[in-house]
Structure formats: C-alpha cells, structure tokens
Structure 1
Amino acid sequence: MKKLIYLLAAFLFIVQGGCTKLDQEFYSQVTPETFFQSEKDILAALNRPFTHARWYMGADRWKLQECAADAFAITTKGRHWYNGGENERYHYHRWTADENWVWQTWRGTLMGISLALDAKNDLTKLDYGRFALTQADKDAHISQLNTLIAYFYLRGLDFFGGLPVFTSLDQGALPRSTDQEVFNHIEGLLKEAMTKLPGKTGGQREEGVLRQGAAAAMLAQLYFNAEAYIRKPMYAECMQLCREIVDGKYGPYSLDAAWNGPHGFKNDQSPEIIWSIPSEFNKLQYDWFFADFYHYNTRQFFDTDMGANNGLHLTPSRAPDSSLYTTRLGNPYEKFAPTDLRKQVYRYLGSGNYEGMFINGPMLTRAGATIKGGEEYKDQPLVFRDQVARFSEVGPGKKYASISNLTSRMSDGEENTGVRLVKVPIPPLAENTLRWGADMPVIRLAEIYYMLAECQWRSGDAGSAATLINAVRKRNFPGGVDPNPATAANLDAYRFLDEWLVEFLGEGRRRTDLIRWKKFTTEAWWDHTPSGSEHLNRFPVPTQAISGNNSLKQNPGY
C-alpha cells in the first residue's frame, strides 16, 4: 500500500491543478518513449488518474447524492451556512443549472476521463519489454484505465444522462451522446476489461488496484440501474453478475465478520472490499468530510487538533416536541434498532479499536468532561439533538413561548442540530499515526449481496432475498441476534430502502437508490415535500459547460 500511496502522492499536485483547469497542455518534445525510464514511471502514470478519482468521490459528488436525498442536510445554523440558499435549493429540489456542485461534478467527471485517456495513450505506445514487463502487465494496466474511464462515465450517466463520449484527447468539443450510447460505451469498456484484468487471489490486500471483481461489480451497477438510465430493466443481467461475484468467480471475497471491518483502520485487509482508494496520514488522505461533518469543538471529543465547520448532519427523526416523524423515508437515526452496535456513540478504545458510529446527546471528552458550545449554547453543555429547531429561542421574553410554537425547517438549525456520523474512525493525538489510516471503500461485497437480494425480490424470490439481507444484518447485533430480520413477508420497497439507508449510510449513494425505486421526486421526508417532477432525477448540464461548448444540449425541464 505504501508504495502505491507514495506514487499517487507524487502526482497529487498535478491532478489538483487539473481539477481547476479543463484545458491540458501537451508538449511534443516530451514523448512516452523518452519520458518513461523505469517501471516506477509507468506506475506513476497509471496511478495519476486514480488521485483524481479520490478527489471525485467526495465533496460535491457526495453532496449531490446525499444532500438532495432524505438522510443528510446542511441546515442554516444561526449566522452560519445559509450560503445564498444553496443548501436549501438542493434539499427542496429547486436547483438550477448555475449551481457550483453541479458544475464541479460535470467538469470533474470529464477531467477524470481525460486524465485516464491521457495515461492510456502514453502506456499504449510503450514497449513494456524494455522495462522487464510482459504483455499481460500492459493489458492489465490498460484495462485498469478502461475500467476507471467506465467508472467516470457511469457516475456521469447517473448524474446527467448522456455525455460526450471521448475515445482520445484530440476530438475537440463533442456534443452529448445519447443515454443509450453512453450506456453501451460503459458496457463495452467493462466487458473487455473483465477479460484482461487479473482476478483477486487469496490473501491479497486491497490497495486501490482494479481487478476483475471491481469491473464485474461496476457492470452489475450499470445493469442494476438500467431502468433509470435507459428505461430498460436489466435486473436479470445484474443478478447473474452478482451471483458470480458472490460465488467467487472473480476472487475470494466474503462478508466481514465485524460491522466496522470494511471501515476501520485496517480495512485494506477486509475480505469484503472489492475496490477502495488508499489513504494514509499526510499522503492522499481520505479526509474531505471531517470539516463539514463535525462541530467546532468536536476536536475535544476526538482529542485531536483538527478544526471543523459544523455543516452536515443527519436529517431529523424527531419533531421539536420529540415525536417521531411518520414519513416512510428519512428518519435515518431511528431506522437503526436500539441494539444495533452501530447506534452507539462513537468511542475510541485504543490500539485502533473503537465502537459506535454516531455523535448524539451530551458531548463529552474521552475522560468524561463536559464539552461546551460556542454559539447559541456558548459556555453551556453541548448536547446534540436528533431534531432541527431553534430551542435556544424558547422561554420567557424570547421569540417562542413554548416548544409547541417551534418550526422545523432548513432555516431553523442551531450549533447542536442533528446527529453526526462517524463512519471513518478518528484516533486521538496519542495515536496520531493511525489518522486517515482507513481507506475509502468504493465497492464492497455487502453491496453485491443487497443488489442480488433486490434482483431476486423483483424476480419473485422474496425468501432468498431475505436470506441475503440477513446475512449482512446479523453482524450488527450482539451475538448476531437481529430483533427485526428481513422476511419474505416484510420485504417491500420501503423495507429495501431502509436496508440500503442503514447499511450504506453516508456512502454517497442514496439519491441513486431513491431514483431506482421511483421515490426521489414522489415522496416526502422531514420538511421536504415531493415535487412530482421526473426531470429532477437528472441534474442540469451546467451553464458554464454550455457556454464553453455550444453543441451541448440542456436536459429536459431546465
């Protein structure tokens, strides 16, 4: 892993610069034949677009998937986070073609494709024999890049529909291809890659290398959501691929015995990881979320020196009067059973071990001392609530006479609003060498189990679907005693969406799941009311993109 991270880090500055400039400059006097002097140069070129993938998988892409859906929000907290109404526009499905998250995602998608095509162009021209490498090595490298290109197109198809399909860097400004043409391009890239990529062998750690299992999983994802992409259900095709992955055709993957095995400091050793992006302290860190997720004083809770800006949190499960919301979607914290090991407050236990994955209730230091607020609750104990309301403004002489008068909207947040997710463990300063030691899981076997389960249910086999869901669920409870297992009788659209929500909370996929189940624009959650506008299942082509390429056509409805 360290070798790969060092090579990736060497190109981080280049790629970060590329994320702010779409036009690349190429110099004819530097050719692949003269630039590449060793295997190390080849690996550096191969891994360069993967650094962009690391950036791409967080921040704005994550927010489009989660903040436009039912599990997360960035509420206005007093004088903080109104951001010109941006966060509310996503939550209430009122975004426009001028939104920055949308623009950064469009350009980031095409930049990822560009970087991968650039590396592919260079490596294709090389005589691998000069470096004591084989044709099989070359095929594997090119196939990794083809798979990465397919990944970026897959995400772009999900966000926008049709995109310009580039096969080289000298094609100029292309118009958008149709949804079907992009779908076919992704399918072709992945099918070819699956014939040339190596499979996983026993005992291999996951260090960011794309193998057959990852390509097969991406193809399964493409088929799984085909009805949303090209209006053609392909659940049978998805089911076949998922069965092959589960049966070990592409390598010996298995579910991790521990709920936090795929997310912990040593998750590169988890048998569940099919593809991950390496992370290590001070080298290509998987850390984008920290500042947005946590309160200014959370550094005292974690016993760390990192600052945060108190933005993101779970949407509330409870109204100001503490009653549970009754919408079928949303209410993420209360979707976890009381005995679920994950529902505990996060606590670092030492030596890389920890429990729980939430910050809720009184915020205390590791020694048990009270942590105090700095805004509405300045110098008062900081107590996080699974609610959104201006509780600090209730009382004699204040804005609200009683809690019954409170509203709960995106504009009503406070500094302690919302449960905070700790899916990636944070060590204290005393064990700072572990910081950002958890890699970024991109595809894990639990997703394959759930895709297979959903496909089986859709085919009429609810019993087998329940068995697969329960195989994942049981690790989340003491002694494997599940208080509410899935059954053939209780599995329906909402139960499936609850299972996807709980298992993959905060993993940047929620919008896609809601769209597949036709709930994204038709259902309510918390203070979000459904628009009923199907065109919102896709984001608009950014105004900035169209202004730079007049051949691009806008999506319907914008």
Structure 2
Amino acid sequence: MKKYISIATLSVALLLSGCTKLDQEFYSSVTPDTFFKSEKDIKAALFRPFTHAKWYMGEDRWRLQEYTADNFAITTKGRHWYNGGENERYHYHRWTADDNWVWGSWRGTLMGVALALDAKSDLSKLDYSKFTLTEERKAADLAQLDALIAYFYLRGLDYFGGMPIFESLDQESLPRNSDQELFAHIEKLLKAAIENLPAKKAGDREEGAIRQAAAAAMLAQLYFNAEAYIGKSMYAESQKLAQDIVNKVYGDYSLDTKWNGVHGFKNNDSPEMIWSMPSEFKMLEYNWFYADFYHYNTRQFFAQDMGGNNGAHLTPSKKPNGSLYAADTKLGSPFETFDQGDLRKAPYVYHGTDQYEGMFIVGPHKTPSGEAIVGGEEYKDKPLDFVDQVGRFSEVGPEKKYSSIDQLPSKMSEGEENTGIRLVKVPIPNLANNTLRWGADMPIIRLSEIYYMLAECEFRLGNKEKAAALFNTVRKRNFAQEQDPNPVTVANIDKYRILDEWSIEFLGEGRRRTDLIRWKAFTTEKWWDHNPSTSAHLNRFPVPNQAIAGNNSLTQNPGY
C-alpha cells in the first residue's frame, strides 16, 4: 500500500466522517522500503501512535471516568463554569449522544486504532535485516502495535461496549461488533503480543514502550472487568495473570518503597512502573490537568508562571455545617477516606531540587514564603482558604441571601472560587527548578494496580485473609515507619472497603467509573448530591450522533 498518513489529514477525516472508513486520502506516495532509511525512522513510525495514546489517556477520557463518578466535580462558581449545564449532565448522569466528551472518546479510540494499524502495515512490509535488525525485533515491534490496538479497544469496550473491529485501513462503514466479539478480539491481540514482547530485566528503565508485563496486565484488566463487559465472571483468570506478574513471570518489577516514587520527577526509574508515557518540559508534556484543577492565583503557591482556570476539585467530604457526608453514604468523601497520618494527605509542599511532600491544596493558600494569596471573585482581595465543602459561604450574613450556614444548599450549582480540595498528584517545581517541570511521566500501569487486582480477585474467590494482606503490602508505605493505623483485615474487608482502597491509592488516575461499575455501584449508589441514576444502561455511554451520521451502519446503545 503506497502511503504515509498525515496525522492532520487523518484527524480531519475522522472528525468529519465519524470513522466511516479508516483508510484516508494521503498527501504523498511513498513505499515503506523507500521511506525508511534507518532504525530511527522505524522507531518514529512505531511510536507515532503512542503520542496519540498519550493524548487519549487524559482529557476527555479522564473526564468520563472521574466527573461521572464520586471523587471529582466541576461545580459552577458564581459566574464561572456552568458551561451550558455540561458539567452537571455528567455529574447527574444525564449525558446525551451529542456531548463532546463522548464524541471525542469514540473518535479518539478509533483514531488510535487507525494510527496503530497504519504503522503495523508499513513495518510488516519492511525487511529488518537491511537495518541490521533481527526478525525477533520485528516481531516485538509488531506485537507492541497489537497491544496498543488492544489498549484502545479495551478502553472503547469499557466506554461503549461493542465497536467496529478494523483489521486494515481499507475497511469502511463497518457495523458495530458485539461486546463478545470485541472482547475476543482484544483477548486474541494481547495473547499474541505476550508471546513476542520482551520482558523487563532488572535495571531496565521505563521509557514508554509496551513490554510483556504491560500486555499481560491489560489481559488481566480485561478479565477483571469481564462481568461488566460480557456478563461472565473471569476473576480466576485475572487472578492467575496478576499473580504471575507479581511473581516476575513477565519481567522484573517490585513495589516502590516510597508513596511518591511512582509519581515523582524521576518516576521512570521506579521499579513499580510497568507502563508509562514519557513527559518532558517543552516536549510531550503530561500537563493537561493543570488548568482544570488550579486557581488562577495558584501560580503564586507553586512560585510558577502558569495560570489555572479554577474548575475541578474533589467532591466534598463535609456539609456546609461541617458534618460528614460519610454518615449518609458509603461513597464519595475522597479526602476524608484517607486515614490521619497518611503521608499523601498532607498539603503539597515543594522543598527544592526534586523533593516534595503531600498531594493536596487544602486550607489557607499561601506563597512559599508564607504570604496570603488572595482571591479575585467572591473573595476578591481576601485570603483564599480551600475548603472540603461546597456552598456559597460568601452569601451568609446580615442582609445577605442566607442568615446562617445551616441554610446553605450544597450542590453542583453552589460553588465558589475556593470550593473544594485540589489534587497535586503530579509534582510541580518552582521556577528556579523549572527544568524539572513536567518531568514526571504519566503512569498507565503500575505494580500496585496488579496487587490491588490480585487482592480483589482473592476476595471474590473467598480468600479474605490473602486479600487483606495484599492491600496492606501496598498501604504500609504511606505511613511513617510503615505504621498503618487502619489496615485491611478479614473483619473489615468488604465491597466498600475495597472501593475505598481503590479510591485512595488511585485517586485521580482516571479509573473510578470502571471500579464503580465492576461493583455494581455506578448507577445504584448515592454520593454527595448525586442520587442513584437507577438505570443500568448508563454503565455505557451512547454511540455519538456524529459517528452515526458518518456511518449509518452503526446502532445506538440501548436506552439512548
């Protein structure tokens, strides 16, 4: 096939066509044998789809996972952030087939498949011996692309159920395959990839490539959520894979001894990292979340030059009067779910060079030298104090809207500029150390996830004691001298404790909706001001109307 795809051409074509056809119009006519001049060219082609994957793993995909669940919200803050009701639609489970996050995720999934198929088509035609490369290397490169295609389809299955299965760029106007067919396709791709991917050796750095353990972990994830995907429990199959990864069958990995080792500026050196996306200042930066999370004056807190737009925050743990939501619901309240003494619960402080502590912006907002940072809206020229509550506290007082705090409503429409605790999962240096900015790679799969998957599988298979021990193996690093004040035990382990453990360890890592669905909690449970949405069809998003307009062979999901 004489082609070399322009990403701009592909993006526009997919946007307009709704992925009617994956083969696009090409701006040049170049055969692989003449285009590829060196190993560098091979690597460029191989990793081009990975740059799309990096974009895909954040932004709208993150938003679908987190703003629809119990840990995060974008409240309306006075004159800001109503956004035509978009944020409330996702929070209250009222999204539609016309919503942009849904369309962007459908399109982004199939665009990723197209890019990986294109690279696979070109590399499969190459004679690697001309570049003094082995057939084993070629098989490994192609296996990476198979695993990447499987990753995109795994996310698509999670969001939408069955999708069209493309195996070449020549296919067009394909109907949706069934959930079971897509599940089997993902399983086939990953099993084949595992056979040809290299395993990590001791001392290897994580640089973004998919190794054997990453493909095995994706297969374990597929089985782990199989009941939600195809109505079939496969926890024993997931347990086997997870145990093998822990036992180093697929490569040499071990838990990091520090809680922030897998999130810090040098996290590509962490022995826990199974798959991550590289990030570097002024290059491919893992930074999309910055504007969403932070107040526009938070630049003074970080001693940085970056402004935020003050949108997202943790859902509140406390009512306006200070009482806890935990008394009314077993989900949500993410900040209070952390135990006292948990090193992660501390306010974020950058200590210079590459050292920092804590991962939250909470309480009085101050510069590194201790000066108060003031607001510009409800608290104009007044010190900012980030609270674990949602309510219009500025409207309480004599001759104001509310005479007492007890009258304050707490819901999505009632935020202020200081509403909600802000997450700093990715460390931010000051300007003096600006070369470190965005130095932390984006974790995709880490060994602690494998431990937690294994623990949940053991629980579901009746082995509570082993499940508790696995959770505690990870938990202990989060406390001084590894003294955990609230370990998981046979007596306290249940559905809600396990959901709490997932919430604490993986807060803000773009997985919460999936965990709730696996536990049948996404549409049946209450949190903060979100009441059960009751209909199981909401466990999947609709096929976007723009996709159906571009391909009338597509059918809509039930209930939409």
Q: How far, CA to CA, are the matches of 1:413 and 1:312 in structure 2?
A: 11
The residue type paired with residue 209 of structure 2 is: V
* Contact 1:15 1:52 survives alignment (8 Å): no
CA shift, 1:17, in A, is 6.8
For 1:197, the equivalent position in structure 2 comes to 197
2:405 is matched with: 403
Counterparts of 1:511-526 in structure 2, within 5 Å, are 511-526=513-528
Within a 5 Å distance, the mapping from 1:492-503 to structure 2 comes to 492-503=494-505
Letter aligned with residue 240 of structure 2? Q
Contact preservation (8 Å) 2:347, 2:358: yes
1:457 partner amino acid = F
For 2:461, the equivalent position in structure 1 comes to: 459
Which residue number corresponds to residue 220 of structure 2?
A: 220
CA drift of 1:173 comes to 1.2
| Change over 3 Å in CA distance of 1:367–1:19 after alignment to 2 | farther
Residues 9 and 25, structure 2, Cα contact 8 Å, conserved in 1 = no
Deviation at 1:350?
1.1
Letter in 1 for 2:373: I
CA distance in 2, matches of 1:429, 1:101: 33
C-alpha distance in 1 between matches for 2:14 and 2:452: 34
What displacement does 1:28 show? 6.6
The residue correspondences of 1:12-51 to structure 2 (distance < 5 A) are 24-26=24-26, 29-51=29-51
Distance 1:141 1:530 in 2: 45
Partner of 1:169: 169
Match of 1:167, as an amino acid? E
8 Å Cα contact 1:16-1:52 kept in structure 2? no
1:24-103 alignment, distance < 5 Å: 24-26=24-26, 29-103=29-103
| Aligned: 1:238 with 2:238 | yes
Q: Cα 1:28–1:285, aligned 2, differ >3 Å: closer, same or farther?
A: closer
Partner of 1:188: 188
Deviation at 1:380, TM superposition (A): 0.2
Deviation of 1:15 after TM superposition, in Å, equals 8.1
Query: Partner amino acid for 1:298?
Result: T
TM-superposed deviation, 1:474: 0.2
Q: Deviations over 1:18-40 (max 9, x none)?
A: 88566732257311111111111
In the alignment, the residues of structure 1 paired with residue 292 and residue 338 of structure 2 have an alpha-carbon distance, to the nearest angstrom, of 23
* 2-structure distance, mates of 1:286, 1:416: 25
Show the counterpart of 2:549.
547
CA contact (8 A) 1:12 1:51 kept: no
Equivalent in the alignment of 1:449 = 451
Q: What is the TM-score normalised by the length of structure 1?
A: 0.97
State the match for 2:351 in structure 1.
Answer: 349
CA distance in structure 2 between the aligned counterparts of 1:239 and 1:18, rounded to whole angstroms: 42
**1:194–1:212 contact (8 Å) kept in structure 2:** yes
The structure-2 alpha-carbon separation of the partners of 1:457 and 1:15, relative to structure 1 and needing over 3 Å to count, comes to: same
Identity %: 70
Separation (CA, whole Å) in 2 of partners of 1:302 and 1:25: 46
Give a deviation string over 1:255-292, Cα, whole Å, max 9, x none: 00000000000000000000000000011000000000
Report the 3-state secondary structure (helix = DSSP H, G, I; strand = E; otherwise coil) of the residue aligned with 1:63. Answer: helix
Residue 338 of structure 1: how far off its partner (Å): 1.3
Amino acid in structure 1 at the alignment position of 2:506:
F
Aligned amino acid, residue 108 of structure 2 = G
Count of residues in correspondence between the two structures: 548
Query: 1:310: which partner in 2?
Result: 310
Structure 2 unpaired stretches of 5+: 1-5
**Does 2:274 align with 1:274?**
yes
- Name the amino acid aligned to 2:124: T
**CA–CA separation in structure 2 for the residues paired with 1:216 and 1:88:** 37
Describe the shift of the 1:19–1:357 C-alpha distance in structure 2 as closer, same or farther (beyond 3 A). farther
Q: 2: CA distance between counterparts of 1:352 and 1:106?
A: 38
Q: Which residue of 1 aligns with 2:3?
A: none
> SS at the partner of 1:411?
coil
What RMSD in Å do the two structures reach over aligned CA positions? 1.3
Residues 113/370 of structure 1: CA separation in 2 closer, same or farther (3 Å cut)? same
Aligned position for 2:136? 136
Distance 1:18 1:471, change over 3 A: farther
Q: Would you say the 8 A contact 1:15–1:48 is kept in 2?
A: no
SS state of the match for residue 441, structure 1? strand
Q: 1:519 Cα shift?
A: 0.3
The 1:94/1:176 distance shift into structure 2, 3 A limit, reads same
| Candidates 378, 381, 385, aligned match of 1:376 | 378
Q: What is the letter of the counterpart of residue 101 of structure 2?
A: W
Q: Distance in 1 between matches of 2:481 and 2:112?
A: 44
Superposition map of 1:256-267 within 5 A: 256-267=256-267
2:482 aligned to which of 473, 480, 483: 480
The CA deviation string for residues 205-256 of structure 1, in whole angstroms up to 9 with x for no partner, is 1000100000000000000000000000000000000000000001110100
Give 1:342's aligned amino acid: R
Partner of 1:299: 299
Q: Deviations over 1:284-316 (max 9, x none)?
A: 000000000100101000000011100110000
Within 1, Cα distance between the matches of 2:25 and 2:138? 26
Q: Is the 8 A contact 2:11 2:111 kept in 1?
A: no
In structure 2, the residue matched to 1:337 is 339
Gaps of 5+ in 1: 1-10
* Cα separation, partners in 2 of 1:369 and 1:465, compared to 1, 3 Å: same
Write the distance in 1 (CA, Å) between the matches of 2:75 and 2:206. 37
The structural deviation recorded for 1:438 is 0.1
- Give the TM-score normalised by structure 2: 0.96
- Do the aligned partners of residues 318 and 18 (structure 1) sit closer, same or farther apart at CA in structure 2, a change above 3 Å counting? farther
- Tell me, what secondary structure is at the counterpart of 1:140? helix
Partner of 1:470: 472
Going from structure 1 to structure 2, the CA distance change for 1:227 and 1:352 (only over 3 Å counts) comes to same
Give the partner amino acid of 2:63.
K
The aligned counterpart of 2:362 is 360
- The whole-number CA distance in structure 1 between the counterparts of 2:379 and 2:237 is 54
Deviates more, 1:538-547 or 1:30-39: 30-39
Aligned match of 2:537: 535
| Rounded Cα–Cα distance in structure 2 between residues aligned with 1:372 and 1:252 | 49
Give distance in 2, aligned partners of 1:191 and 1:146.
10
Instruction: Give, in angstroms, the shift of residue 531 of structure 1.
Output: 1.6
1:427 pairs, out of 429, 451, 462, with 429
1:139-163 deviation line (CA, Å, top 9, x unaligned)? 0100000000000000000000000
Q: CA deviation at 1:13?
A: 7.4
**Residue type of the partner of 2:178?**
T
Cross-structure match for 1:8: none
In the alignment, residue 280 of structure 1 is paired with which amino acid? E
In structure 2, the partner of 1:150 is 150
**Cα distance in 1, alignment partners of residues 273 and 15 from structure 2:** 31
Dislocated runs of 4+, deviation >3 Å: 11-24
Alpha-carbon deviations, 1:307-347, whole Å to 9, x = none?
A: 11001100000000010012100000000111000010000
Residue aligned with 2:413, SS = helix
